[in-house]
């Protein structure tokens, strides 16, 4: 049991190390070609749009809930 657990942990560790080197190579490529800023800008824009959308939906839902509550009272 302990041996298999140790083997699994070592495999996961090696996979993590390998993926980190691939991530670093991808990051270096994007930085060299100046596309990293484009990727970051797109991600921030999408994230901001999602937050704004959720805030607006929450306001609409609150307004509808208030109307239903007033109607039932």
pLDDT tens per residue, range 26-68: 677 777 777 778 888 899 999 999 999 999 999 999 999 999 9
Residue 18, pLDDT > 70, answer no
**Structure confidence at residue 32 (pLDDT):** 79
**Structure confidence at residue 20 (pLDDT):** 59
CA distances from 61 to 30, 44, 54, 70 (A): 41, 26, 10, 14
**Structure confidence at residue 6 (pLDDT):** 77
**pTM value?**
0.56
């Amino acid at each position: 049991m302990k041996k298999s657990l140790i083997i699994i942990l070592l495999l996961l560790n090696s996979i993590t190390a390998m993926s980190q080197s691939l991530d670093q190579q991808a990051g270096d490529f994007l930085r060299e070609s100046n596309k990293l800023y484009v990727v970051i800008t797109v991600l921030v824009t999408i994230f901001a749009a999602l937050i704004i959308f959720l805030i607006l939906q929450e306001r609409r839902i609150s307004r509808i809930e208030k109307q239903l509550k007033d109607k039932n009272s």
